[in-house]
Chains A and B, each alone.
Chain A
Amino acid sequence: MNPYWLTCLHVAQLMTLAPHEFGGVIVHARSGPVRERWLQTLEQLARHHGLATPLRKIPSGISDENLLGGLDIEATIISGKPIFRPGLLSHCDQSLVILPMAERVEAGTVARIAAALDHGAIQVERDGHGERIACAMGVIALDESIEEDESVNPKLIERCAFYIDLDSIAWHDLPDAKLDAEFIDLDRISIQGRVEQITLSDEQYAALVGIAAQLGIVSLRAVQFAARAARYLAAMDLEWHESELSKEHLERAVTLVLLPKATQIPNMADETQAEDESNPEPDPEENEEANSEETSSQNQETEVLEDQVLEAAQAAIPRELLDRLTQLALVRQKNHSAGKAGASQLSHLRGRPMGSKPGMPSGNQRLSLMDTLRAAVPWQRIRQAQLKSSQNPSQPKILIRKDDLRVKRYRQRNQTLTTFVVDASGSAAINRLAEAKGAVELLLAECYVRRDQVALISFRGSEAELLLSPTRSLVRAKRSLASLPGGGGTPLALAIDTAFALAKGSLKKGMTPTLVFLTDGRANIARDGTPGRTQAQVDAEQSAKLASQIKVRSLWIDTSPQAREEGGHIARLIGSYYLPLPHARAHELSQAVLGVLHT
C-alpha cells in the first residue's frame, strides 16, 4: 500500500470534521480512478459528519449572479414583489464545495471565494438587495494543471490548509476500500468540543514557526493552519479527560500542512553541523536573547523539538513528491509576480461576458434580454398605473421603456506583446549587437511602464530561439539579454517563422502583438539549416509572404552599415515598417521603435 494514501485520507478526515477551519484542500490530480476514490471517501466522511451531500460544485466560469445571487425575474413578475434568488455561495454554509478545474477559475471568482473563506460569510450587495449571508465553507479545489505556467491562484492556495497530490499514487497501490471506511468512525461533535480545550505549549508554537522558517514558508496563515491541525489531530486521539498535544500530533500537522507548502527542504543530515557553525539566517533577536542563559536553553529545547518533528514529518511524504512540490512552489512564486490580472478592455463584441450597461442595441451592441427585463420589472406597477390613466385600451403584460434597454458588455484582454527578433549572427557585427541590446533594454523600460509584455527571439547559426518567453519581468529580460551570444550564420527564414508563430499564439490569447526585427537582412542559412545564400534568400522571402497573411504590426530595423536591398525587400513582403539605421546608438534606436509603436 502506498503510505501517502493515508496522508490523503487524513486530509479528507480533517476537511470534513471542520470544513471552514481549514479553508480547503488543493487536490492535484488528473481525473481518474484514484481521484474518484478519494472524492468518494470524502463524500462518505461528509455524510457521516453531517455535512450536506452530495457536495456542490462551483463551475469555473460562474457568473456573479449565480455565485452571489440576483433578482429572480420570473418569480418577481409572477408575484408582483421583488424576489431575490440567492447565489450558490448562500447554500454553502457549514459544508464543502468542489471547485473543478481550479487552475482555470477567474481571478475575480477566486477573490469572491477567498472573501467567503476569510469571513465565513458573504456580503451581497446586488440588485436592490443587501445582506450578509453565513458561508462558512471549505473548498475542495481540483487542480488539473499540467503545464508549468498553469497553477491555482496563489490567493486560494494561501487560504487552503492542505495540498495533496493524487497523481503520485498508482491505482494498484490503493488498499482495499474497506480500509478507508475505518477512518469514518469518529464523532464530530465531541471532537469539536474537545478542540477548544487543547492548547499548544509555547515551545510547540515556537517549533511550528521555526519549522515554517526552515521550509522557507513566509506566510503565517500556513503556521496557523498547522497549529489548528495539530489541535484537531490531538482531539481525535484523546479521551475526554486528557488534553495533551504530543509531538506526534505536531509531526502529523507538519506533514499535512507545512511540508506541501515548502519552498525549500532542509537536508537533515547536514543540519546538525550547519547549526553549530553558522546559522543560515542569523536572527538578531535571538542573538540578543542569547545573553540570558535561561532563554538560550529554552531556545535549544525548541530547536531540538523542531528538528525531531521536521525529520519525522519528512519521512511521511515520499522524497520525490516533496522535491516536486518545492519546485512547484518556486515556480508559483516566480510566476505570480508577473501579475495575472493584466490590462483588460471592455468590448461590445468579444471576450468574456461581464454584466451589461444601459444603452440601445445597435450593430455592434447586443441586447441583453435578462438585464433589460430586470431593469424593467420594478417599474411595472408605476407604468401600468400611468397607462390606465392615459386610457390605452390594449395593455401588454410587461411594459418596457427605452431606459430599460441593456446591452451586453464583454471583457477583452488588450495587452501588447512586443517581441524583439534580434539577429545575433556573425554578419550583424558584434558591436551592432551591443547597440541592439541597449535599445532593447531602453524599450523594455518603456514597455514596463505601460505594463506591456516583451519577448525576445534571437537567431544565429542554424536556429532561431525564443530566448525570453513573454514576460513583464525586466530582471529576467535583462538577464537573458546579457547572456546573448553572437556569431554564426543568418537563418532569417527560421527567425521570421518563429516570430510569427509566437505572434499568432498571442493573438489567440487576445493580445496585440508587435514585432521588432533587428537585422541586416542578409540570409545565408536556409530553413532546413543548410548554408547557402540563394536558397536562404528564397526561403526568407517565402516565410515573409506567409507571415504577411497574419495581421501583425511590425518594424524592420536594418542594421547593416549600408542599407541593402535584401532587407528592405523582405520587410516590404511582410508589410513591415522599414527603417534603415546604419549608425544608430541605443537611444536613437529605441526612439525610432517607440515612434513606430505609438502611431
Chain B
Amino acid sequence: MTAADLVPAEPAPWATFAARRAEGRIPFQHCWSCERAVFYPRVLCPHCGSVELEWRDSAGVGVVYSATYLPARDGGGRHVLLVDLDEGFRVMGSATDDAGAYAIGSRVRGAVDVGNPEAEPRFVFAEEGPR
C-alpha cells in the first residue's frame, strides 16, 4: 500500500457508488484502520471513525440473511433479500428469478442489473447451483 492508494475523505460517496454500480460493479469501501468493510459508502468508517477508506468491488457471492416475497395484487411478485456478502457487508437486493423461494442460509451469487434505462441499477441474486 502506498499513500496514493488511500482515498481521503470521499467528498461524494453516493456519486462514486452510483458511477461504479453503473459499470456493473458491487462497490463497497474498505477501512485501512480497522480492516473492516464499510457499506453503505460514507465519508468516515462507522466502526472506528477513520477517514482512510478505499473503494473495492465485491465478487458478489454471499449468503441469504433474510428474505421476503411481496406478491403483486395482479399475480406475480418479487423477492427482497438481505445478503451477507463474503467481503463482510450486507446489502438489500432483488432476485433474478421471481418464482420459487430464496431460503435463508442459502448461497447466492449476485450481479448488477443495468439493463433497464428507466430504473436505478439493482443488485440481483441467484441461488448457486441448479434451481
Do A and B belong to a common assembly? no
Residues on A facing B (Cβ under 8 Å)? none
